[in-house]
Amino acid sequence: MTLAEAVAIVAAGFAAGTINTVVGSGTMITFPTLLALGYPPVVANVSNTVGLVPGSLLGAWGYREELRGQRARLLRFAIAAVIGGTAGAVLLLGLPPDAFEAIVPVLIVVACVLVAAQPWIAARLKDRPNRRAHGGAGVWLLILATAVYGGYFGAAQGVLLLAVMGLALQDTLQRLNAVKNVQAGLVNLVAGLVFMAVGEVDWGVAGLIALGAAAGGLVGARIGRRLPPLALRIVIVVVGVVAVVVLVTG
């Protein structure tokens, strides 16, 4: 690895850590960067997942004020994160990528539409009994499915999570974004542990991404917490659309 390549990986990690904390989809920066530098797809994916963990956790810490009073919700969703993240990592190592990659752009487009329409849909659903503070079994299963996807690949995992929680839960977008950061961090952590056990991680790459992502997570929290709901929603949709374009054209 040359010095220029190392700098590029750290820079990509910083950008990914920032974007992941504000919205999600940071993998759409780091993963293509590693592929462009010649790393095999599986090695790039698993090393990226491990490297992004510090950024997710520091981003969640930066949102600690918005996490107050959400312990029950966090514990409930953490179970889905552990199960789903582990399952997704196992699928990545055991199955060909085509099955999931074929539906990824569709999932992201649906998530963007749901995020954009969330205020109108939420207003229509606000008096329904199944829209609760912590969500019912259906919401938990959707969170679980998102965690499986996150453990497998993870691009736009944050967009999908915000779409599900924004429609199903009674809370502000900023508080849900804080939950998203914790959830994504847990998914990456448990998936990373699976990858570490198998030995597919390139520790040099993971360390450089972690260095950049840690700084980006703190910066992203400062940026994201200051965005008004409409601006945050616009950023989510724009990032999601860009992720789809990259996936389809890449």
What integer pLDDT is reported at residue 147 of this predicted model? 93
pLDDT band at 17; cut points 50, 70, 90: confident
> Pick from 95, 93, 26, 102: which is nearest to 58 by CA?
26
C-alpha distance from residue 19 to each of 73, 100, 150, 235, 239 (Å): 24, 23, 16, 10, 9
- Digit-coded pLDDT (tens) for 68-92: 888 888 899 999 999 999 999 998 8
Highest-pLDDT range among 3-12, 63-72, 97-106: 3-12
- Digit-coded pLDDT (tens) for 184-204: 889 989 998 998 888 778 899
What integer pLDDT is reported at residue 241 of this predicted model? 73
- Digit-coded pLDDT (tens) for 236-247: 677 667 767 766
- Digit-coded pLDDT (tens) for 111-149: 677 667 656 655 654 555 555 555 677 788 999 999 998
Mean pLDDT of the chain: 80
- Digit-coded pLDDT (tens) for 168-188: 787 777 888 888 889 988 998
